[in-house]
Amino acid sequence: SVQSVESLSERKSALFKFEEDNLKASLKSLFTQAVQAAYPENFKEVSLNECANSGLGDYQFNDAMHLFSVVREVGGCDVKSPREVAQNIINMLPVNPFFENPSIAGPGFINVKISDSYISSKILQNFNICEPRERRVNTAENVNYPRVIVDFSSPNIAKEMHVGHLRSTIIGDSICRMLEYKNIETLRLNHVGDWGTQFGMLIEYLNDEHDDFVDTIGDLQSCYKLAKKRFDEDTEFKIRSQAAVVKLQAGDPKMLEIWENVCQTSRNEFETIYEALNVRISERGESFYNLMISGILEELEQKNIAVKSEGALCIFSSFEGTPLICRKSDGGYNYASTDLAAINHRIKYEKADWVIYVTDSGQKKHFAGIFDATERAGWLERCEKSDVRLSHVGFGLVMGEDGKRFRTRSGEVIRLKELLSEAESRCYDELKNRGTSGLSEIEMKQTARKLGIGAIKYADLQNNLSTNYVFSFDRMLDLKGNTAIYLQYAHVRVSAVLDKTQIDVQNVTPQEFRFKAKEERALALHILKFAESLDSSLQDLMPSRICDYLYTLSSLFNDFYGSCKVIGDDNEESRIILCHATASVMRRCFFILGIDPVYKL
Ligand code: ARG
């Protein structure tokens, strides 16, 4: 069933436990110990939630009810109610720095309230760690350090990069940043579509019509369309195109030169987009794997995983569905052939512990097939480390405000360059029209760029990945609501406070960090939840969780700022520390989302 693939990609690898400084994970482990001590026979993995009602506490343990039913069924025990089970668990909770007296509510919910002294000490301990930590490198002592390959962006040569590739680029980059923040080594790969039979007709067409070269992607794209048309209509051209592919594959220098030029033209175009988005990625296109394919298919045939069927070589997966065709009946290779060679290369030669693919959800089945074949071929098994983990992160379509696929008014593919510059110029106009800011012309340009690009990224990342998302400048540039602009304003506000204070935060060592107002406590506790939010984002590869976290952080900061005086208050020192911690965590989130924070607006 499809489930086997799900559980395969979800299989927990011992290498990927991200839980340092994770408050929720620490609490969970306390409850695990308590349940183990109180009910050793009935122990199973426990769960812990945030309290829905913050009046009762901060975290809640809800397993007592279930445990009671299990214990009662087994019999031979003397508890009469879930509340009693809850009490027995509480009795076994180890003494700990996080909370003091848990309470039982309703039928047997255990609520814990994090102690103010714990929150204070943690904030003090952490508040000035603004610098990103140093990167860890693989040394003899930590050779087990995990290495992750993220395959993302991956546009196709000779075609414009489209909004789907934009999503992949933004999401993939953010996933890399989360991993890198955790000091995990990443290899960012751009699996560009630079190989295949389509290059034969393109080369022949360029040769016929353009003296072999064109220098913009727009021209390439139109040539591509015209070449396709000629290919379908003109038999002589078709035959020449097919011959060109064979020559190209055999390494004919003339063919290679034209092909290389086509790639370079496209590459230049892609580069400008990556530069505007500030995304790093290494190109390793489909052509890279070409020579590996025949050997890989042979191996799969020998292992009886790939079988001949109606002339083609197919892999029938262990779950229902159409087979993966890995060699066409004419002997040619395809998208799947390349992906099989690529995954093998990544595991075997690149020694990846985790391979993550970021594409639209339409490719879900393709990757399920590739992963299934990979597992059955035994490529995932490792003796020295735990098994290799594979994930496909699928995302929904980008829709226009009219509810249809996102296109220009005349129905064409949206050009990304124009999209990015429109975001920028809208922000610029906004800043200009406001007129009140103390920004110079240059600052205004730079700020507009950061706001615009950041807004596009955030609007994308904030969504639940699998749903289609509606691209709307008006919405993403709104000051209110869950938008990057709202977050940027909160960041500017906190930065301004830190600018204004006379207190030198680097040098204060207050004996005590005090809260007076409830808004201070709420903000401080949320700051401590950064680690758990990052871990859960990573565990499920959902950057939207970091967005939610940052949005809540900004709102809690605004609540605090709205009701607590900072500068000149007798609690100024503590409040400045809180602002400092807020700013520091905000900037980490911005970093992870790939958004440049602005400091002045
Ligand atoms: N070039 C493909 C596309 O535009 C995406 C490639 C994704 N990566 C992969 N290894 N198949 O849809």
Residue 13, pLDDT > 90, answer no
Tell me the CA–centroid distance for residue 360 and ligand 1, in Å: 9
Q: Which two three-digit tokens encode residue 554?
A: 């900004």
pLDDT band at 327 (very low <50, low <70, confident <90, very high): very high
Q: Of all protein residues, whose CA lies closest to atom 4 belonging to ligand 1?
A: 155
Residues 277 and 460 sit within 8 Å (Cβ to Cβ): no
Cα–Cα distance measured from residue 345 to residue 383, given in angstroms and rounded to the nearest whole number: 18
For the record, the structure tokens of 312 come out as 């083609």
C-beta atoms surrounding 56 within 10 Å: 16
> Residue 367: CB within 6 Å of ligand 1?
no
Cα 528 → chain centroid:
22
112 CB-near residues (< 8 Å, 6+ apart): 27, 57, 58, 59, 60, 61, 98, 99, 102
Q: In whole numbers, what is the pLDDT of the chain averaged over residues?
A: 89
User: Ligand 1 pocket check: which of 151, 191, 357 to mutate, most ligand atoms within 8 Å of Cβ?
Assistant: 191
Region label for 437, one of left (φ > 0), alpha (ψ between -120 and 50) or beta (otherwise): beta
Q: Which atom of ligand 1 is nearest to the CA of 367?
A: 11
What pTM was estimated for this model as a whole? 0.91
Instruction: Report residue 49: phi and psi, to 5°.
Output: -125, 165
pLDDT digits (tens, 9 = 90+) for 127-180: 654 444 444 444 444 445 689 999 999 999 998 899 999 999 999 999 999 999
- State whether the beta carbon of 193 lies less than 6 angstroms from ligand 1: yes
Helix 253-277 and helix 416-434, axial crossing angle in degrees, nearest 10: 20
| CB of 369 closer than 6 angstroms to any ligand 1 atom | no
What per-residue confidence (pLDDT) applies to 434?
Answer: 84
Find, among 56, 122, 87, the residue nearest to 526 by Cα. Answer: 122
User: Ligand 1: does its nearest atom lie under 6 Å from the Cβ of 359?
Assistant: yes
Phi, psi dihedral angles at 439 (to 5 degrees): -90, 140
The count of other CB atoms within 10 Å of the CB of residue 430 is 15
What's the pLDDT at 442? 93
Reported confidence tier of residue 2, pLDDT bands at 50, 70, 90: very low
Confidence at residue 139, expressed as pLDDT on a 0 to 100 scale: 47
The whole-number pLDDT of residue 134 equals 45
ipTM for this model: 0.99
60 lines ligand 1 (CB under 6 A): no
More confident residue, 136 or 463: 463
Is the CB of residue 357 below 6 angstroms from any atom belonging to ligand 1?
yes
Ligand 1, atom nearest to 360 Cα:
12
Q: What is the mean pLDDT of residues 416-425?
A: 94
pLDDT in tens, 278-296: 999 999 999 999 999 999 9
- The residue length of the chain stands at 601
Determine the 3-state secondary structure of 361 from DSSP: helix
> 470: which strand partners?
399
Paired tokens of 60:
């809640």
Task: Give me the residue label for tokens 């009886």.
Answer: 304
Q: Which residues make beta-bridge pairs with 186? A: 148
Listed range (1-15, 41-55, 160-174) with the worst mean pLDDT: 1-15
Residue 129 confidence (pLDDT):
45
Is the confidence at residue 10, as pLDDT, over 50?
A: no
What burial class does residue 247 get, using C-beta atoms within 10 Å of its C-beta: 0-12 exposed, 13-18 middle, 19+ buried?
middle
Query: What's the pLDDT band for 466 if we cut at 50, 70, 90?
Result: confident
Structural contact between residues 247 and 255, judged by C-beta atoms closer than 8 angstroms: yes
Provide the pLDDT for residue 9.
Answer: 36
* Model pLDDT for residues 331-379, shown as the tens digit of each residue: 889 999 999 999 999 999 999 999 999 999 999 999 999 999 999 999 9
**Coil, strand, or helix at residue 581?**
helix
pLDDT at 19: 63
Specify whether the CB–CB gap between 94 and 31 falls below 8 A. no
Q: How far is the CA of 392 from the centre of ligand 1 (A)?
A: 12
What's at 365, amino acid-wise? K
| pLDDT average, residue stretch 181-207 | 93
